[in-house]
Amino acid sequence: MKTLAKIWIFIGILAILSPLGIWLPEHFNSKAAWGEWDVGEVSKASGYRPAGMDNIAGFWKAPFPDYNFEGWEDKTLPYSGLAYIISAAAGILSAAVIILLLGKFLSAKGPRGNKGLDGTDE
């Protein structure tokens, strides 16, 4: 099996395992996942409200807020798990498309052609 196929299989396995991100914290009665805090959670944990976070808090709206779909907030854990897997797949797909497009753009031959590190034509 080729290396690229193994990488995609590994990424697929990670996407399928992504619901562990909600199941494990719920099972162990833990707080929000590390790094996924909103301004209120940071303020509660640190004792102050970072002004920079306040300034940009509403700047970005996630396509799937909390990795869930609108109307699925009150659904059972299997629905949340499915939404996590779909969110992971959407993120993987969008990242792959951006990387492929960026790679094509950066590797396209310009008017002078591509030069190698030594300055010669490739």
25 contacts 33 by C-beta, under 8 angstroms: yes
- Give me the residue label for tokens 């940009």: 56
Instruction: Tell me the average pLDDT of the chain.
Output: 80
Cα distance between residue 100 and residue 93, in whole Å: 10
Structure tokens at 10: 């590994």
**Chain centroid to CA 110:** 32
Give me the pLDDT at residue 117, please.
59
pLDDT (tens digit per residue) in 20-46: 877 887 778 777 666 677 788 888 888
pLDDT in tens, 54-85: 788 777 777 777 777 777 777 777 888 888 88
7-11, 59-63, 85-89: range with lowest mean pLDDT: 59-63
pTM of the model: 0.64
* Structure tokens belonging to residue 15: 């996407």
Nearest alpha-carbon partner for 84 in 111, 64, 56, 107: 64
